[in-house]
Amino acid sequence: MFDAILIDKTDDAQTVTLSDVSPDQLPEGDVLVDVAYSTLNYKDALAITGASPVVRSFPMVPGIDFSGVVVESAHADYKPGDRVVLNGWGVGEKHWGGLAGQARVKGDWLVPLPDGISLRQAMAIGTAGYTAMLCVLALETQGITPDKGEIVVSGAAGGVGSVATALLAARGYEVAAVTGRPAEADYLRSLGAASIVDRAELSGKGRPLAKERWAGGIDVAGSTVLANMLASIKYRGAVAACGLAAGMDLPATVAPFILRGVTLVGVDSVMCPKAERVGAWKRLASDLDLAKLDAMVTEIPLSEVIDTAPKFLDGQIRGRIVVPVA
Ligand code: NDP
């Protein structure tokens, strides 16, 4: 038996408990993993609080990511003892996830953990950090090099934003970190932010086009934040959009696209093809300053997961939440 967070639904009410689960209850899959660490991401908070219909079947073990060691494998690429990481693929939504002592999954969903990243560091990065890497790669693909100008990052004190800030700074970009929490300014500067932007500047309804300020952007917020960001991107700049912390809407106009040639790139980590994942994890291993990563981490036991989840919805989480499971 092992501990697991279990979400269940009775009639209309959702229950979440720390439960004892046996390996026999795990879903089908060709690889069994002893989970070492999982994390809390924004999506896990939506699942655990029931604030959004993230969970597609019940009962469900949440946890959209985990790192661990293979115990049993019928998959050609994995053998017992291999260190692996998993992000997305509907795990923690449709298939039992990482907030449990063990997980049985499809081997095709796993990525071998690069040497140089520990099991704990893998989850300090987690899906938020891997998504931040995908966003940086998306800007690079658009030709947004450090010499083009400053990059704006929204939700900078949160999980995706913290890792994005550190990754960009490590590559020589100047980062304008947008935050609604001025008290986190020193934290953001310690991650490498060159300037701090008050979230209020991007929150109201803005003009279709504003002064050209930033060469590129990484947005976790959506809604007016993304609309105002787009309106302030320099000619031929690009924004990588991955989140909806401010809302799912996008009250923008086409002006930035048709008058400034701005590109809006959507970033999805869940169904991202394996080759890109492996590339992203390799780049995380080479680019991310692990001392900065340490500064982002708060560690909580499984027993505190249920009480911590609502804090994401209030925007109170700083950096990354790591959950040791073993
Ligand atoms: P966090 O809660 O750690 O960070 C979100 C941050 O957004 C907050 O810390 C806060 O930062 C900021 N924020 C909160 N409310 C608002 C608001 N109303 N307006 C503007 N900014 C706000 O979450 P994560 O970093 O884990 O995830 C961020 C977003 O990215 C989520 O929407 C998540 O669903 C999405 N995501 C998407 C993925 C994908 O595959 N597309 C993968 C991973 C995440 P501050 O206080 O500094 O302003």
Contact 27, 104 (CB under 8 A): yes
Q: How far is the centre of ligand 1, averaged over its atoms, from the C-alpha of 317 (Å)?
A: 9
Percent helix, strand and coil across the chain, each rounded to 5?
35, 30, 35
Q: What is the Cα–Cα distance from 249 to 128, expressed in whole angstroms?
A: 21
CB atoms within 10 A of CB 104: 18
pLDDT tens digits, 55-98: 999 999 999 999 999 999 999 999 999 999 999 999 999 999 99
Check whether residue 131 and residue 259 sit in a common domain: yes
Residue 163 lies in a domain: yes
**84 three-state secondary structure:** strand
Contact 170, 289 (CB under 8 A): yes
Check whether residue 244 and residue 161 sit in a common domain: yes
Residue 284 lies in a domain: no
Provide the domain limits for residue 133: 127-266
Check whether residue 12 and residue 64 sit in a common domain: yes
Q: Whose CA is nearest to atom 18 of ligand 1?
A: 246
Check whether residue 203 and residue 81 sit in a common domain: no
Q: Are strands 263-266 and 233-241 parallel, antiparallel or unpaired?
A: parallel
Residue 274 lies in a domain: no
ipTM of the complex in this document: 0.99
Q: What is the Cα–Cα distance from 96 to 216, expressed in whole angstroms?
A: 37
**What dihedral do alpha carbons 193, 199, 204, 210 form, nearest 10°?**
-20
Residue 277 lies in a domain: no
Check whether residue 132 and residue 226 sit in a common domain: yes
Predicted confidence at residue 164, as pLDDT, reads 98
pLDDT tens digits, 174-204: 999 999 999 999 999 999 999 999 999 999 9
Check whether residue 179 and residue 142 sit in a common domain: yes
pLDDT tens digits, 300-323: 999 999 999 999 999 889 999 999
Check whether residue 187 and residue 72 sit in a common domain: no
Q: Are strands 175-179 and 195-198 parallel, antiparallel or unpaired?
A: parallel
Residue among 93, 130, 160, 224 whose CB has most ligand 1 atoms within 8 A, to mutate = 160
Check whether residue 235 and residue 132 sit in a common domain: yes
Residue 174 lies in a domain: yes
Residue 165 lies in a domain: yes
**160 three-state secondary structure:** helix
Q: How far is the centre of ligand 1, averaged over its atoms, from the C-alpha of 11 (Å)?
A: 31
Q: How far is the centre of ligand 1, averaged over its atoms, from the C-alpha of 242 (Å)?
A: 9
Residues in Cβ contact with 200 at an 8 Å cutoff, skipping those fewer than 6 apart = 180
Question: What's the predicted TM-score (pTM) here?
Answer: 0.97
Q: How far is the centre of ligand 1, averaged over its atoms, from the C-alpha of 264 (Å)?
A: 18
pLDDT tens digits, 11-46: 878 999 999 999 999 999 999 999 999 999 999 999
Check whether residue 103 and residue 131 sit in a common domain: no
Question: How many structural domains compose the chain?
Answer: 2
Check whether residue 132 and residue 262 sit in a common domain: yes
Q: How far is the centre of ligand 1, averaged over its atoms, from the C-alpha of 246 (Å)?
A: 8
Predicted confidence at residue 136, as pLDDT, reads 98
Tell which atom from ligand 1 comes closest to the C-alpha of 161.
25
Predicted confidence at residue 324, as pLDDT, reads 98
Check whether residue 108 and residue 161 sit in a common domain: no
Q: Whose CA is nearest to atom 16 of ligand 1?
A: 246
Q: Does the CB atom of residue 113 touch ligand 1 within 6 A?
A: no
238: left (phi over 0), alpha (psi -120 to 50) or beta: beta
Predicted confidence at residue 269, as pLDDT, reads 97
